[in-house]
Chains A and B, each alone.
Chain A
Amino acid sequence: MNGASDKQSAASDASAAISTADLDNFIALLAKPTRDGKANIGQVPTFEGLETWIERLGVAGVRADRAGSPDLLGQLKQATGQAVDTVVCNLLDDDPGLRLNSVLAARWGAVVVAGAQFLTRLTEARRLFIVVETGSPSGWWSDMISASGRVGARMLALANDYPLANPSLLLHALLGRRLRPGNLPTQQRVLMIDAATAIAVGRIAAHRQAMSHVPLAVRDHLCQSTHYLLVPLGTPVRDVVDGLAPPDTPPSALTLRHAGLVFMGHILRDNIASSHAVIGHGELTMHLLPNRTTMLADPCIRCHWCAESCPARVQPAGLLDAAQSNDLTMARRYALDGCIECGVCSYVCPSKLPLLAGIRVLRRLAGSVDKSLERTAARS
């Protein structure tokens, strides 16, 4: 019971870090421009220019670089040279079993809005879209609805079919703009963040709080349990795995946990983290699974389910063919550049073909070819 009360008090400390009064002040401040159209800079936060804030965010460790929230500092740097007209706060959860964005928005909805609105002002964007999942309980968004009403943000509800949370797909669905996968949304004049990033930005803007913890959602398939945590930056994955084991776990089960696989992000993306990896600014959802047996692939039966289920409309079977023959020309014909690596093709393939792995091989090959071409061009 002592441990539980400690945690509850710690949680209340964390939640008290941003008081309602501060938040209202912040939101009201952000919502109230001065006569000349610029924000009131008399109180926190101050709008001292984008470059200053990029440096400040970098020093405070406020970064993000994950599937639903691309490289924050990279986006902001790009925004210095290219105007941003829209800020999208992406609250769609990739994984229906790990609703980290929903959890954060339900708890700190107003902070999320404030952080997103701060970035909107900072980049001088014209509008702020907050994208939530349609069909989810309205109680989750009550704070956010009132806060977004105050700052003039627009809340949009979308049917969250995986992998819509991907920035390229979301931009296409929202604005009809084509963002090449892997590129930053600011290329299409959009700044995209998720709930954790918005909270981190809001904290430093309102209170000069550096980013020392990140929220983390863990699905432990070994114990059939789900955890939502705040984890110090730099925590090894192995410590998270060990720490989530029930106290009475027998040694054999602990061995099984250590031998298990840790997937960062959505499980279909197949991003397996080593036990020595650390929790940082990357993916904030984690799956712990038992070590899988080797899957034997069958020959392709040309069912074409991979292409029919592909949300980006590429031809994964053709790409695998190209990967086997190291043929980049064929790979580009089958739209290698359009793949978002969501892993749906590998999931549905009846032959269990390593389609996603083949696409990643091609991407590496394309990257090395591009680099060698650049070197050749530089020499000449």
Chain B
Amino acid sequence: MSSLPPYHLAPAMPGSIAVPVQLSHVPAALGSVRPFLTHSGITVGRYCLLHAAGIMLPVTAGLLLYGWRALGLIVILCASAVLTVLLLRIINGQGRNLRLPHVMHMATILSLMLPAHLLADGRNLSSILPASLWATIPAAGVLLVLLIRFLGSSCIHPALAAYMCLLPALGPCMVPHWILQRNHLFSGDLVNAKTTTGPVEIGDGWVHMPVAAGSDSLCMEAVSERLWLYSGHLDKSWSSLVNSLTPLEDLIIGGQPGPIGTTSAIAVIIGGLFLIYRGVIDYRIPLLIILTAMASFLILPVPVGISTTKVQWTWLAMHRAAVGPALALTFSDYEILAGPMLFTAFFLATASAIRPMTRRGRVIYAVLLGILVAICQLYLSVAYGPYLALLAVGLLTPLMDRTFRTHSLLVAS
């Protein structure tokens, strides 16, 4: 018996004969010790963890750029959401349908959409802000859980819905102005700024700006605000706009005031690529959103000339001699990098409850979303335009699921 290979144990059954076969190698699966083969082991919790792993990079970038207040905001929001679920379970047992990994994932996403200065005494920031500004964070957690319960797996993203509820309620408090200086990354206090009365001149941008002594952070105007002032034809001319913006490098690494998770474009892109690599999200959606939005930014009318009496709107501004292709592309890049468009494309629009189920449906969905994102950013708001666009296009998902179906490989349609 000892001469027989291990996979060739002699049967003790009467009438059966061991087949004397010598395979050149033992298949790897023979050495498997996994007791259950009927499921891959990727449960809903692990599915959410996969998403969470992709979002860790924007979280890390946010913690570095906005310090411990960002960490506190994320922790408080997640904790309040979890506590709400547990309370719901205790009170009436209705929280049993809510899965804690899913709730925590949604809470993390919502916290990344908020500015870190919400965890501060509002009176120290501005005379118009309330002292109890920080109290909105646990309230946001409670609101999120209630929305998850209410919306379930509908075509509205619960974190997006919670953000849209907070936006009118908080108003100017949602506009970010602060960012840590380079020598105070993570450890600094976000609201210990050089000045709190108005934006500072940023010169060569956050990366090359000299470190100001005596303060942990800088107070400046966000690029998204400047872009909105321009495209809302409230300020500046075309050329002066582009010249007054912070360098694109700052937007790529996140050196500008903004929400915790959406500012660093490179972190968002790498996190999204990780999700694509793991097969958790469909690459078509972010790719088509970005490409369509970029094309739309180049095509849609923008105010090329603004005077006190007249605003000159122009389609395809890149064909105008005063603008040119290079300037138009730069403007398009700023629009893409300044707002939460990339975050929306990689982490919100790809959510399983929102995106259509078929490939053709996803392509249409992404193209529509890209166009609407550009429209909303140009004419409504750079800071929350992509969120509005996603809310609108998400409502079409059930229709796309009904319209587009996959065709079986083996049965002719």
Interface string of B22-54 (1 = CB under 8 A from A): 111101111011011111101110110000000
User: Per a CB cutoff under 8 Å, which of A10, A95, A235, A347 touches B40?
Assistant: A347
Interface string of B148-191 (1 = CB under 8 A from A): 00000100000000000000000000000000000000000000
A140 with B24: in contact, given A225-B6, A301-B153 (CB under 8 Å)?
A: yes
Closest residue of chain A to B45, judged by CB?
Answer: A350
Contacts of B153 in A (CB 8 A): 299-302
A290 contacts partner chain B, Cβ-Cβ < 8 Å? yes
A227 with B9: in contact, given A106-B23, A301-B153 (CB under 8 Å)?
A: yes
CB atoms of A247 and B12 under 8 A apart: yes
CB atoms of A224 and B33 under 8 A apart: yes
**A contact residues vs B (CB 8 Å cutoff):** 1, 3-4, 7-8, 10-12, 14-15, 95-97, 99, 102-104, 106-107, 137, 139-140, 168-169, 172, 178-181, 213, 215, 219, 221, 224-232, 235, 239-240, 242-247, 267-268, 270, 287, 289-290, 292, 295, 298-304, 307, 311-315, 317, 333-335, 337-338, 340, 346-352
CB atoms of A7 and B10 under 8 A apart: yes
Give the distance in Å from the alpha carbon of A315 to the alpha carbon of B409 in the complex: 11
A313 with B11: in contact, given A103-B21, A137-B25, A347-B39 (CB under 8 Å)?
A: no
Give the distance in Å from the alpha carbon of A226 to the alpha carbon of B6 in the complex: 8
CB atoms of A267 and B38 under 8 A apart: yes
A292 with B36: in contact, given A231-B16, A350-B42 (CB under 8 Å)?
A: yes
CB atoms of A270 and B410 under 8 A apart: no
Interface secondary structure of A, over-half rule: mixed
Query: Could you jot down 28 A-B contacts, CB within 8 Å?
Result: A4-B10, A7-B11, A8-B20, A11-B20, A99-B27, A107-B20, A140-B24, A213-B17, A219-B30, A225-B6, A228-B19, A229-B13, A229-B19, A230-B17, A231-B15, A247-B12, A268-B37, A287-B37, A301-B352, A302-B353, A304-B352, A304-B357, A314-B408, A315-B406, A317-B357, A337-B411, A347-B40, A350-B46
Give the distance in Å from the alpha carbon of A1 to the alpha carbon of B28 in the complex: 29
Contacts of B36 in A (CB 8 A): 289, 292
A344 CB → nearest B CB, Å: 10
Looking at B7, B24, B408, the one whose CB has the most chain A CB atoms below 10 A away is B408
Chain B contributes a number of interface residues (CB within 8 A of A) equal to 55
CB atoms of B20 and A244 under 8 A apart: no
Closest residue of chain A to B362, judged by CB?
Answer: A304
Contacts of A270 in B (CB 8 A): 38
B127 contacts partner chain A, Cβ-Cβ < 8 Å? no
Give the distance in Å from the alpha carbon of A4 to the alpha carbon of B20 in the complex: 12
New A-B contacts (15) at CB < 8 Å, excluding given A4-B4, A315-B405, A348-B40: A103-B23, A107-B21, A178-B411, A219-B30, A225-B6, A226-B8, A228-B18, A229-B18, A235-B13, A242-B13, A298-B43, A300-B153, A307-B358, A313-B408, A338-B411
Give the distance in Å from the alpha carbon of A248 to the alpha carbon of B206 in the complex: 74
CB atoms of B406 and A335 under 8 A apart: yes
B128 contacts partner chain A, Cβ-Cβ < 8 Å? no
A243 with B37: in contact, given A338-B411, A350-B43 (CB under 8 Å)?
A: no
CB atoms of B28 and A347 under 8 A apart: no
Contacts of A179 in B (CB 8 A): 410
CB atoms of A289 and B35 under 8 A apart: yes
B407 contacts partner chain A, Cβ-Cβ < 8 Å? yes
A99 with B23: in contact, given A225-B6, A268-B38, A348-B40 (CB under 8 Å)?
A: yes
Chain B residues 90-130 with CB under 8 Å of chain A are: 97, 99, 102
CB atoms of B23 and A140 under 8 A apart: yes
User: Per a CB cutoff under 8 Å, which of A1, A219, A230 touches B16?
Assistant: A230
Give the distance in Å from the alpha carbon of A246 to the alpha carbon of B6 in the complex: 13
B318 CB → nearest A CB, Å: 38
A103 with B19: in contact, given A97-B32, A221-B35, A243-B13 (CB under 8 Å)?
A: yes
CB atoms of A338 and B23 under 8 A apart: no
Contacts of A178 in B (CB 8 A): 409-412
CB atoms of A302 and B19 under 8 A apart: no
B41 CB → nearest A CB, Å: 10
A83 CB → nearest B CB, Å: 21
CB atoms of B15 and A235 under 8 A apart: yes
Contacts of B43 in A (CB 8 A): 298, 350-352
CB atoms of B47 and A303 under 8 A apart: yes
CB atoms of B27 and A96 under 8 A apart: yes
A335 with B407: in contact, given A298-B99, A301-B44 (CB under 8 Å)?
A: yes
CB atoms of A230 and B19 under 8 A apart: yes
Give the distance in Å from the alpha carbon of A213 to the alpha carbon of B14 in the complex: 12
Give the distance in Å from the alpha carbon of A303 to the alpha carbon of B35 in the complex: 26
A247 CB → nearest B CB, Å: 7
A157 CB → nearest B CB, Å: 16
Closest residue of chain A to B408, judged by CB?
Answer: A338
User: Per a CB cutoff under 8 Å, which of A139, A169, A333 touches B405?
Assistant: A333
B3 CB → nearest A CB, Å: 9
B1 contacts partner chain A, Cβ-Cβ < 8 Å? yes
Give the distance in Å from the alpha carbon of A244 to the alpha carbon of B291 in the complex: 61
A337 CB → nearest B CB, Å: 5
A302 with B352: in contact, given A221-B35, A228-B18, A338-B411 (CB under 8 Å)?
A: yes
User: Per a CB cutoff under 8 Å, which of A289, A302, A352 touches B357?
Assistant: A302
CB atoms of A352 and B39 under 8 A apart: yes
CB atoms of B23 and A169 under 8 A apart: no
B14 CB → nearest A CB, Å: 8
A243 with B20: in contact, given A290-B35, A340-B410 (CB under 8 Å)?
A: no
A301 with B38: in contact, given A229-B11, A244-B12, A335-B408 (CB under 8 Å)?
A: no
CB atoms of A301 and B47 under 8 A apart: yes
Contacts of A229 in B (CB 8 A): 11, 13, 16-19
A321 CB → nearest B CB, Å: 11
Contacts of A168 in B (CB 8 A): 410
Give the distance in Å from the alpha carbon of A307 to the alpha carbon of B407 in the complex: 11
Looking at A215, A228, A267, A298, the one whose CB has the most chain B CB atoms below 10 A away is A228
Give the distance in Å from the alpha carbon of A299 to the alpha carbon of B33 in the complex: 30
CB atoms of B13 and A244 under 8 A apart: yes
Contacts of A303 in B (CB 8 A): 47, 352
CB atoms of B27 and A315 under 8 A apart: no
Contacts of B32 in A (CB 8 A): 97
Closest residue of chain B to A220, judged by CB?
Answer: B9
CB atoms of B38 and A347 under 8 A apart: yes
